Structure 1
Amino acid sequence: MTILKSNVDTGAEEFRAAREVMLTRWDEIAAEHAKALEGGGEAKLARHRSRGKLTARERIDSILDVGSPFLEVGALAGWGSDFHVGGSVIAGIGTVSGVECLLVANDPTIRGGTSNPWTLRKTLHCNHIAERNNLPVISLVESGGADLQTQKEVFIPGGQIFRDLTRLSKKGIPTIAVVYGNSTAGGAYIPGMSDHTVLIDGQSKVFLAGPPLVKAATGEIADDETLGGAGLHARESGLGDYLAADELDAARIARGIVRRLGHSKQGPAPRPAFDEPLYDPEELLGIVGEDLKVPVDPRDVIARVVDGSDFDEFKPLYGSSLVTGWAEIHGYPVGILANARGILFSEEAQKATQFIELANRYDRPLIFMHNTTGYMVGSEYERGGMIKHGSMMINAVANSEVPHISLITAASYGAGNYGMCGRAFDPRFLFTWPSAKCAVMGSEQLADVVTTVASGAAASRGTPISESDLAAMRDFAVAQVEEQSTPLFLSGLLYDDGVIDPRDTRAVLALSLSAIHTAPVEGTDSFGVFRM
Structure 2
Amino acid sequence: MTILQSEIAVGSEQYEQNREALLNQLQEVRAVQQKGLDKSYAAKPKFDKKGKILPHERVRLLLDADSPFVELCGLVGYNMHDDKDGSDAGGGIIAGIGFVSGVRCLVTASNSAIKGGTMSPMGVQKTLRLQKIALEQKLPVITLTESGGANLNYAAEVFTYGGMTFANQARLSAAGIPQLSVVHGNATAGGAYQPGLSDYVIAVRKQTEMLLAGPPLLLAATGEVATAEELGGAEMHTQVSGVAEYLAENDADGIRIAREIFEHLNWKEQTVTLDLAYKAPRYAEEELLGIIPKDPKQPFDMKEVVARLVDDSDFLEFKQEYDALTICGWAKMGGVHIGIITNNGPITPQGATKAAQFIHLCEQTQRPLLFLHNTTGFMVGTDAEQNGIIKHGAKLIQAVANTTVPKISIVVAGSYGAGNYAMCGRPLSPQFIFAWPNSHVAVMGAAQAGKVLRIVAEAKQKTSGMEPNPQMLDFLEQSTSAKLEQQSTALFNTAMLHDDGIIDPRDTRKVLIFLLHTIYEGQHRELTPIRFGVSRF
TM-score by length of structure 2 reads 0.94
How many Å separate the matches in 2 of 1:226 and 1:129?
37
Task: Tell me, in whole angstroms, the C-alpha distance in 2 between the residues paired with 1:103 and 1:46.
Answer: 25
Aligned position for 1:355:
358
Decide whether aligned partners of structure 1 residues 90 and 158 sit closer, same or farther in structure 2, where only a CA change above 3 A counts.
same
Structure 1 distance, partners of 2:351, 2:328, is 10
1:119 aligns with 2:123: yes
Residue in 2 that maps onto 1:512: 515
Aligned to 1:338: 342
Of 277, 286, 290, which residue of structure 1 is paired with 2:290?
286
| Corresponding residue number in structure 2 for 1:204 | 208
Contact kept? 1:346, 1:390, Cα under 8 Å: yes
Q: What amino acid is the match of 2:23?
A: L
8 Å Cα contact 2:338/2:370 also seen in 1 = yes
For residues 165-204 of structure 1, what are the structure 2 equivalents within 5 Å? 165-204=169-208
Aligned to 1:447: 450
Q: Is the 8 A contact 1:364 1:521 kept in 2?
A: no
Q: Report the RMSD for the aligned CA atoms in angstroms.
A: 1.6
Q: Give the Cα–Cα distance (whole angstroms) in 2 for the partners of residues 58 and 250 of structure 1.
A: 13
More displaced 10-residue stretch of structure 1: 279-288 or 44-53: 44-53
Find the partner of 2:244 among 236, 240, 247.
240
**Percent identity (aligned):** 45
Residue 472 (structure 1) shift: 1.5
Separation in 1 of the partners of 2:268 and 2:356?
Answer: 33
Cα distance in 1 for partners of 2:283, 2:76 equals 33
* Mapped pair 1:431 → 2:430: no
From 218, 236, 247, the equivalent of 1:214 is 218
Q: After superposing the two structures, state which structure 1 stretch, 395-404 or 263-272, moved more.
A: 263-272
* Letter in structure 2 aligned against 1:382: E
Correspondence for 2:396: 393
Residue 267 of structure 1, CA deviation: 8.7
1:525 counterpart residue number: none
Contact 2:183/2:204 (<8 A) preserved: yes
Distance in 2 (CA, whole Å) between partners of 1:464 and 1:510 is 60
Query: Is the Cα–Cα contact under 8 Å of residues 450 and 474 in structure 1 kept in the other structure?
Result: yes
Alpha-carbon offset, residue 331 of structure 1: 1.9
Deviation string 1:412-461 (CA, Å, 9 cap, x unpaired) is 01110000001101111111111111111111211111100111011101
Number of residue pairs matched? Answer: 520
Describe the superposition over 1:24-59 as per-residue Cα deviations: whole angstroms up to 9, x where unpaired. Answer: 1111010011122234461x3321222111111111
Give the corresponding residue for 1:530: none
| Residues 39 and 165 of structure 1, relative CA distance in 2, 3 Å threshold | farther
Q: Which runs of 5+ in 2 are unaligned?
A: 526-537
1:6 aligns with 2:11: no
Q: Does 1:16 align with 2:16?
A: yes
Quick one: distance in 1 between partners of 2:39 and 2:224? 36
Distance in 1 between residues matched to 2:324 and 2:388, nearest whole Å = 18
CA contact (8 A) 1:36 1:75 kept: no
The answer as to 2:328 corresponding to 1:324 is yes
Structure 2 residue aligned with 1:89, among 72, 86, 93?
93
The alpha carbon displacement at 1:269 in A equals: 4.3
- Structure 1: any 5+ residue segments left out of the alignment? 523-532
Indicate the SS of the match to 2:521.
coil
Which of 155, 158, 181 does residue 154 from structure 1 map onto? 158
Q: Mark the CA change 1:319 to 1:495 in structure 2 (over 3 Å): closer, same or farther.
A: same
User: Secondary structure at the residue paired with 1:370?
Assistant: strand
User: Cα offset for 1:264?
Assistant: 4.7
Structure 2: distance between partners of 1:268 and 1:364:
17
* 1:75 and 2:70 matched: no
Looking at structure 1, the residues matched to 490 and 417 of structure 2 have their Cα atoms a distance apart, in angstroms, of 16
Tell me the residue number matched to 1:132. 136
Q: Classify the secondary structure of the residue corresponding to 1:494.
A: coil
Please name the residue that 1:32 is paired with: 32
The Cα offsets for residues 76-134 of structure 1, whole Å up to 9 and x where unpaired, read as 11111123111111111111111111111101111111112121111111111111111
SS of residue matched to 1:52: coil
User: 1:59 aligns to what?
Assistant: 58
- Paired letter, 2:392: H
Matched, 1:421 2:420: no
Cα offset for 1:465? 2.4
CA distance in 2, matches of 1:26, 1:457: 42
2:102 and 2:268 in contact (8 A); partners too: no
Partner of 1:374: 377
| Displacement of 1:319 | 2.1
Residues of 2 paired with 1:415 and 1:28: CA distance?
Answer: 28
Counterpart contact for 2:359–2:403, Cα < 8 Å: yes
Report the secondary structure of 1:220's partner residue: coil
Would you say the 8 A contact 2:339–2:369 is kept in 1? yes
Residues 368-408 of structure 1: per-residue CA shift (max 9 Å, x gap): 00000111111222111111111110000000111111111
3-state SS of paired residue (2:128): helix
Q: 1:143 aligns with which of 133, 144, 147?
A: 147
Q: Which letter maps to 1:442?
A: G
**Superimposed CA distance per residue, residues 480-524 of structure 1 (whole angstroms, 9 cap, x where no aligned partner):** 1111100011111111111111111111111221222232179xx
Q: State the alpha-carbon separation in 2 of the partners of residues 398 and 38 from structure 1.
A: 41
Structure 2: how far apart are the matches of 1:66 and 1:452?
59
Aligned position for 2:528: none
The question of whether the paired residues in 1 share the 8 Å contact of 2:273 and 2:521 is answered with no
- Partner of residue 107 from structure 1, selected from 105, 111, 117: 111
Measure, in 2, the Cα distance between the counterparts of 1:500 and 1:124: 21
Paired residue type of 1:163: A
The reply on whether 1:503 has 2:506 as its aligned counterpart is yes
Of 180-189 and 244-253, the range deviating more from structure 2: 244-253
What is the CA deviation profile of residues 174-203 of structure 1, one whole-angstrom value per residue up to 9, with x for unaligned ones? 111111111111011111111111111222
Per-residue CA deviations over 1:115-174 (Å, capped at 9, x if unaligned) read: 121211111111111111111111111011112221111122211111110100111111
Inter-partner Cα distance in structure 2 for 1:265 and 1:168: 20
CA contact (8 A) 1:29 1:434 kept: yes
Worse overlay, 253-262 or 395-404: 253-262
Stretches (4+) displaced over 4 A? 264-269
Rounded Cα–Cα distance in structure 1 between residues aligned with 2:271 and 2:455? 53
What TM-score results when the alignment is normalised by the length of structure 1? 0.95
Mapped to 2, the partners of 1:50 and 1:9 lie a distance apart of: 56
The equivalent of 1:484 in structure 2 is 487
SS across alignment from 1:396 = helix
CA distance in 2, matches of 1:147, 1:499: 26
Quote the Cα distance in structure 2 between the aligned partners of 1:204 and 1:438: 43
